[in-house]
Structure 1
Amino acid sequence: MPPVPEWLIPRPHLVSRLARGVRGPLTVVVGPPGAGKTALVTEWAHTAALPGPVAWVPCDGGQEPPGVFWPRVVAKLREAGVALPYAGVHTAAPISGAADGPLAARVAADLARRTEPVVIVLDDFDLEPGSAAAEGVTLLLRHAFPMVRLLVVARRDPPLHLHRRRLAGELTELRTADLAFTDKETVALLAQHEVTLTGSAVRHLTRRTEGWAAGLRLAAMSLGGHRDPATFVRRFAGDEEAVVSYLAEEVLDVQPAPMRHLLLVTSLLDRVNAELAAAVTEEDADGRFAALVRQNSFLQPLGEGWYRYHRMFRDVLLLRLRYEAPERIARLHRRAADWLGAHGPLTEALEHAVAAGDPSYAARLAVERLAVGRIIGLAGDPLPDSLLQRLSQCMATASDSAQDGDVALATAALSLARRDGAACDDALRKADALVRTAVPADGAQPVPLTARLTYDAIRMAADPFGDPTSALAAAAEVDGLCARLPRETSERHPELRAFAHYVRGGAELRCGRLKRAEEALLATLGTIGPQDAGPSLLRRDCLVDLALLATLRGRTRSAAEFAARARHLDMPAPDPADRSCAALHVVRVWSHLVRGETAAARRQLDDMAPALCVPIPDPPVVALHRLAGETVVLCERGAPPSAEAVRDLCAAVAGPWPTEGLERAVHLACAAAPCGFSGAPAGGRGATKCEVLSGRERDVLKHLARTMTTEEIAAEMYLSVNTVKTHLKSVYRKLEVTRRSAAVRRARELELL
């Protein structure tokens, strides 16, 4: 048994897991070189309560000659004090392979007859499946438990039918993730080298090495006496000389040439499976990839057949690949982009297309996969900002003379995403002749449906409400194109049809057709899906337009609810110069007004100045802003305006919008103002008599809205039926109605319900 090393970092939580594991037949500790496997098992053997003697058997990795393994096991058992009854086996010398099987059977039979269990530790047990030694150990487990407990230390899964034992509950496993050092253990390791770091530096170092013990110790050795430890930690990576040397000697350079090639080539990939590995290497790599997964603990499973390399190991592989074959890297990225473009996530495919330095292919991929919604923010899963930046740089390398409509479309979308209107317009002009051609020239290919759809989506997003007539025509065209998409494609991109609904709703709103606008905007939300499907600019702008629509109707409470939903989306607040920012401001102004908060409304109006400074001000926002300013003056004046005065005021700013809702909002604001009035405006309908409803009358009104009978209301409120009837008569009189349904409808108009 090895002695406890002086540098050992105590890991009692893992030792206790080993102690529990050796109560069963099989415990495996699997991890990459330098993960601390042997050190952990040594700590367990010297510090834990053992179920019996421990025979520590050092193995020769995958190079276990026939006839050597079992004599070594017998020798180590005898050294541990486990006497075997038979004689005549000369364990100092190899025996023939033919005698290997009978010897394993004899060892199993004799150990099974013991009265005290023995733990056999097989250190560096990395045999190939089907080897004679592996079959003998399987036989030992099958026939000698519970007197034999096996603890296997290996770099890869030992060929001992782990799946079967896992299902039977007869297996304890400690793997790479379990062996990873915690921040607390990293601090202890650094202290051994008299290195002290801040908490954030320790966390960064642990994350960078993924808790890999050897990487942490190499870092600690390099940090000793370093003048600027914090800077070293930030820069510490897999290209440090000590890390490269260790991993090259322990892992990379001991691989056969085909396996080494596979490791280097697939290191370009953030994650890899057998099919992608075959596509990148252009070989039938299935069998070799399976062996790579089985033999390499630095390849960590992600599920569903996908794996990723340990970060520092991948850095070493990439460093070697760039040194040995720099001319192949672009071609390898292009192969990865091809496979991922057809079978994988768009984000990964674009990353590799950009890394390959191929703007035409990257643009075609973005257009064919209808990435426009993810580029300009319509979808709930936008492309990462870092990728958008690299895509923009890649598009800038395209030749100006190339007649590439896809590059022009991608450039337009990326320009729109970064709010560069001039560049977007320029790119759209280049794309127009290449994409919008109704009839291709002789011999030319027809324009793909995805290219036309991308063009129309960008054109709509560039100026959705500048010309309502053009916007309605563009929305109809996008609707028609979406209907021609294959069903699977259409279902993957609901944001395009939703955007068409949104543009239609916005155009109808600005034309004053509020009912049609409401239908289209609600259809937008229905097409996008539930709010937990992911926030997007499209969802936010749709909610903002619904808030504007409710304000134009005088339904300020509903407007405030839509505005709150828009603000509470998990996404950055709109830019002060954004159209939606001005809309949210004006909705908040009217919320203050109808609550009698005139001073707050005036402050909000003053704060709106930057939000109104947009190149093309939004007409409903401008109208509501102007009307709010006039209403603040009325509220501060304190004199009740006449119905005719309110009607004239609203007509002056209403433009195409109906004035009934605006008039109602002005009356409510004046009635709620601190210096307001409680009677009806002269010559007009009693729109503000609701202010004099008593508390009892309001309660009766609420029960009335629940379609309760007079008797049920009386029982609910502990009143007599006659008293309830008296309250109802008063409510009818004050609201100027004669029926229950009319009272409820009127109360909702006045936002009493």
Structure 2
Amino acid sequence: MAESVGPARVRGQNRAPAGTAPAAPAWLVPRPRLTDRLARGVLGPLTVIVGPVGAGKTALALEWAHTRRLPGPLAWVTCDGRAEQSGVFWPRVVGALREAGLDLPETVTPEAEPLLVAALAADLNELGGPVVLVLDDFQPAPGSPIAEGVSSLLRHLPGVLRLVVLARRDPPLHLHRGRLTSEVTELRTDDLAFDDREATALLAQHGIDVPKQTVSALRRRTDGWAAGLRLAAMSMERRSDPERFVAQFAGDDEAIASYLIEEVLDLQPDGMRRLLLTTSVLDRMNAELAVELSGEDAGQHFAALVRENSFLQPVGQGWYRCHQMFADVLRMCLRHETPGLVAPLHRRAAAWLGEHGLLADAVRHLLAAGDWDQAARLIVDRLAIGQVLGLTRLRLPDELTRQLPEQLSAQDPEPALLAASVARVRDDDQLCCRHLRLAERLIAELPAGEDRAVRCRLAHSVIRMDQLRSRAPEEARAAAADAEAALARLPQAGLSQHPEIPALTLMIRGGGELRAGALKAAEASLTGGLKAAGAAGNGALRRDCLVDLALLEALRGRFRGADELAAQATQPPLPAWTVAERSQGSLHLVRAWVDLARAEPGRARHELTRADAVLRAMPDVFLSEIASLLAWLATAVERGGTAVVPIGDVVAASRLPRTLLRTVAPACVSLLDSVRHRGTVSAAPQHAAARPALTLVGAPAERLSARERDVLGRLAQMMTTEEIAEELYLSVNTVKTHLKSVYRKLAVTRRSAAVRRARELQLL
């Protein structure tokens, strides 16, 4: 039976801040942001510091113990990790408490552990104030007598025991209960990671002074891991070029590798070691993927790996990421021990990831396996060539654009298609065309009706559209027609995940319809393209659709709408033009037309000069005809709206499509009439705030309500009825009722007409 533990008393008034804590080493890096959290956490019953070996857990606790005011006596126990035995542990705890100044018996009988714990709890409860107990390297097995005994102490000593646990894995102390009641403070691997300021201080201890960007690079490479930073600093002391060392520093550095192999990898059982090595090819993993790579036997260790290895960090939804430096070491060991296994592991990972819709990850693994052909087949099959071309916010790995095989498959068109898209990204038109010709020949050899041939033809058309849309509009429209033919033969369900394809197709088709004078069809195509480009996250396509819509409105004589659409096309986050493009020339022409409607021929001339510069670089008959017409209009506006030659004759003499002339002629007449009625013409550019407003026409018979204006504003953003209802917290039926009222008050019957009319009336 355990010897009775008498009432706990603090001997004398000696409460040194560090209590029984070891001496603080001279190399400690001050980390007040974390010691502040420890100081607050120790006011509660349980504080847990969990991190991998070398994360700086003990150093942090020592800094806190020696620099902060503690709520009571401090007892520090350095445990033996997983090898801890009850017969050693409890005497250590009682001894540390006695050294901290508590009057406890000197001898205990470990065989009567439950009685000892109960007696210790009773005596500590009689203490006049709280006591702080630090358990360093506390790693008992779940359900073990030590774990249950410490849990019992916590449960029976509320307000007295302030337990601080330092461990490489979650201690088995029912943490979930403390989380529910906010009675546990946790510092984990991410919290323990050094920031740039702390990394700079650590390097300074070794006499190393490097630029801030070098410190940041080193911190990122080590994931802020304290041991990695320290080992790097020790190596840098011996280098004449520390910045170059940082640029090459990785987990395969000899010092890092030796440390982690000895301290972590060699201590793992065989099954766990095999699981760590085989999954090291992954950037992130979950249980199912781990089993796919390692087999059922090794996969059975996954739960224990996650629970016991703090080098593995959760990233959400059952996925985990390995610490970068540890992953580097594992990959190095895998290459050295089983080099023939690396490529097959990458291929198995790619197959699983591809089946689960994680295309970018699958492609990355295929490239790591050196399997360009399979990566190409996967990309084309998943209709993802637009992701290679940068047509969507989702991007495929940059490795794709950095490598091209010297020789492509002579049987399969997919590698040639991928090579063409990579050449397109590199702006190598000659190489792109060569690969497209090869792909076209190989596609012709496929059975015409099979799904694979249709997908290849679609990829071929998408690359051609992207390549030709700026420099050869007619050829781009032919490619768009081919794309539409292929799209019609593919399941619509899969296409919904690739809005970049219809966005590009509709933008090109709409531009062609605009040039042919089919304005209604062009408006429908460009509006659809605008919405699809928004879904794809393609700012350049959105910008070009807006510019063409602005030009369409100007051709109709709706200059207020044209002005607003042109303004939207140049507002962030939409991208600016980096080189001369046709849409940039169109934008200058729209602005010139709007300036003429404001009776500002000077501004219009300036915009026409800028448009001319674009058209010299990229000739375009359609835009040149519009520019000539605008130059004639500018002269007429400068004469107060009086034309020497009848406007109808000037318009008829242009080479614009006849269907378009019937719209353009009245617009020009109306513009000149407006200038004559205005009576003043500004020949010089004016400040934006002083520019005259465009003439309003008509007004709604009834004023729109505030809610109707809300609905109208979302309508102008191309939102669906359901999206408007969700954003405004209304039912779909209520939104429809508001829309009907808006249509009635604006005297229109369609969404596009309502938006156009609202812009004319300056309601948006």
Normalised by the length of structure 1, the TM-score is 0.81
| 1:48 maps to 2:68 | yes
- Partner residue of 1:621 out of 613, 620, 623: 623
Which residue does 1:408 correspond to in 2? Answer: 416
Structure 2 counterpart of 1:287, from 292, 297, 300: 300
**Using a 3 Å threshold, how does the CA distance of structure 1 residues 498 and 187 change in structure 2: closer, same or farther?**
closer
CA deviations over 1:222-263 (Å, ceiling 9, x no partner): 333643333333333323332222222222222223222222
- The 2-side partners of 1:521 and 1:750 are apart by 18
Counterpart of 1:644, as a letter, is P
- Paired amino acid for 2:420: A
- 1:560 maps to 563
Q: Which residue, out of 696, 700, 708, partners 1:706?
A: 700
1:64 alignment partner in structure 2: 84
**1:632 Cα deviation after fit:** 4.3
Confirm or deny that 1:218 pairs with 2:231. Answer: yes
- Equivalent position amino acid for 1:196 in 2: D
The residue that corresponds to 1:501 in the other structure is: 506
Aligned 8 A contact 1:576 1:582 in 2: no
- Corresponding residue of 2:573: 570
Residue of 105, 108, 125 corresponding to 2:138: 125
Deviation at 1:326, TM superposition (A): 2.7
| 1:293–1:378 Cα change, 3 Å | same
Equivalent position amino acid for 1:480 in 2: A
Following superposition, the deviation at residue 38 of structure 1 comes to 0.8
Whether the 8 Å contact between 1:588 and 1:604 is mirrored in structure 2 is yes
Deviations 1:538-575 (A, max 9, x none): 32332232123223323344333333333335365335
Aligned pairs for 1:230-629 (under 5 A) are 230-383=243-396, 386-390=398-402, 393-394=403-404, 396-401=405-410, 403-432=411-440, 434-435=442-443, 447=452, 449-463=454-468, 465-466=473-474, 470=478, 473-474=481-482, 476-482=484-490, 484-485=491-492, 487=493, 489-529=494-534, 534-570=537-573, 572-608=575-611, 611-613=614-616, 617-629=619-631
Partner of residue 176, structure 1: 189
Is the contact between residue 292 and residue 349 of structure 2 (CA under 8 Å) also seen in structure 1? yes
Match in the other structure for 2:736: none
Matched-pair contact (CA < 8 Å) for 2:381–2:452: no
- Of residues 155-164 and 492-501 in structure 1, the stretch that sits farther from structure 2 once superposed is 492-501
Deviations 1:34-57 (A, max 9, x none): 222111111222222222222211
Q: Distance in 1 between matches of 2:475 and 2:455?
A: 25
Matched, 1:35 2:37: no
Amino acid at match of 2:188: R
User: Aligned residue for 1:712?
Assistant: none
| 569 and 45 in structure 1: CA distance in 2 versus 1, 3 angstrom threshold | closer
Q: Percent identity?
A: 48
Deviations 1:30-81 (A, max 9, x none): 1122222111111222222222222211111111134322222222222223
What SS is found at the alignment partner of 2:101? coil
Q: Is the contact between residue 383 and residue 455 of structure 2 (CA under 8 Å) also seen in structure 1?
A: yes
Matched residue type, 1:512: G
Distance 1:559 1:317 in 2: 60
Residues 206 and 120 of structure 1: is their aligned pair in 2 closer, same or farther, counting only changes over 3 Å?
A: same
1-structure distance, mates of 2:759, 2:71: 81
Deviation at 1:358, TM superposition (A): 0.9
The answer to whether structure 1 residue 74 and structure 2 residue 94 are counterparts is yes
The offset of 1:471, in angstroms, is 5.8
In the superposition, relative to structure 1, how do residues 406 and 241 fare at CA in structure 2: closer, same or farther (>3 Å)? same
Q: 2:277 touches 2:330 (CA, 8 Å); kept in 1?
A: yes
Structure 1 position 655, deviation (Å): 3.2
Displacement of 1:146: 2.3
> Residue 658 of structure 1 aligns to which amino acid in structure 2?
L
CA separation of 1:574 and 1:101: change in aligned 2, threshold 3 A: same
Partner residue in 2 for 1:728: none
Q: Which residue, 101, 106, 109 being the options, matches 2:119?
A: 106
Measure how far apart 1:158 and its partner are. 0.6
Deviation at 1:125, TM superposition (A): 0.6
Amino acid at match of 1:691: R
Within 2, Cα distance between the matches of 1:100 and 1:689? 104
User: For each residue in 1:609-653, what CA deviation from the matched residue of structure 2 results, as whole angstroms up to 9, or x when unmatched?
Assistant: 5533567x4443232233234444555677831462453245323
Who is 2:708 aligned against? none
- Say which is worse superposed, 138-147 or 220-229, in terms of deviation: 220-229
Q: Indicate yes or no: 2:108 matched with 1:89.
A: yes
Query: In the aligned structure 1, how far is the partner of 2:407 from the partner of 2:349?
Result: 21
Q: Could you tell me how far 1:151 is from its partner in structure 2?
A: 0.7
Distance in 1, Cα, partners of 2:453 & 2:389? 21
Tell me: CA distance 1:77–1:687, structure 2 relative to 1, closer, same or farther (3 Å): closer
Q: 1:397 to 1:570 in 2, by over 3 A?
A: farther
Distance in structure 2 (CA, Å) of the matches to 1:268 and 1:497: 36
- Total equivalences in the alignment: 682
> Closer, same or farther in 2 for the Cα pair 1:274/1:285, shift >3 Å?
farther
Q: Give a deviation string over 1:359-417, Cα, whole Å, max 9, x none.
A: 22101110121102222343343435x24414xx34x345443x113223323333444
Match of 2:300, SS state, is: helix
Mapped contact 1:552–1:657 kept (Cα < 8 A): no
SS in 1 for 2:488: helix
Deviations 1:586-626 (CA, angstroms, capped at 9, x unpaired): 334434444444444444444445533567x4443232233
SS of 1:315's partner is helix
How far, CA to CA, are the matches of 2:501 and 2:697 in structure 1? 44
Aligned twin of 1:681: none
1:356 Cα deviation after fit: 0.9
Equivalent position amino acid for 2:513 in 1: E
Q: Which residue of 1 is the match for residue 737 of structure 2?
A: none
Q: Do residues 658 (structure 1) and 657 (structure 2) align?
A: no
* Runs (5+) with no aligned partner, structure 2: 1-20, 682-691, 704-745
Secondary structure in 2 matching 1:56: strand
Q: What is the identity, as a one-letter code, of the residue corresponding to 2:624?
A: V
Letter in 1 for 2:332: L
Alignment of 1:153-168 (within 5 A): 153-168=166-181
CA distance in 2, matches of 1:388, 1:613: 35
Amino acid at match of 1:562: L
Aligned to 2:715: none
Instruction: Determine the C-alpha separation between the residues in 1 that align with 2:275 and 2:375.
Output: 26
Please state if 1:640 is matched with 2:642.
yes
2:696 corresponds to 1:691: no
Distance 1:369 1:102 in 2: 66
Q: Could you list the per-position Cα deviations for residues 505-560 of structure 1 after superposition, in whole angstroms to 9, with x for gaps in the alignment?
A: 22222221111111121122234456xx6234432332232123223323344333
Whole-angstrom CA distance in 2 between matches of 1:206 and 1:750: 53
Offset of residue 160 of structure 1: 0.9
The code of the aligned residue for 1:620 comes to F
CA deviations on 1:250-307 (whole Å, 9 max, x unpaired) are 2222222322222222222222222222222244544312222222222222111112
Matching residue's letter, 1:540:
R
Q: Distance in 2 between matches of 1:591 and 1:578?
A: 21
Deviation at 1:215, TM superposition (A): 2.1
The one-letter code of the counterpart of 2:145 is A
Alpha-carbon distance change, 422 to 43 in structure 1, aligned in 2, over 3 angstroms: closer
- One-letter amino acid matched to 1:641: A
User: Which position in structure 2 is the counterpart of 1:11?
Assistant: 31
The question of whether the paired residues in 1 share the 8 Å contact of 2:48 and 2:187 is answered with: yes
The structural deviation recorded for 1:469 is 7.8
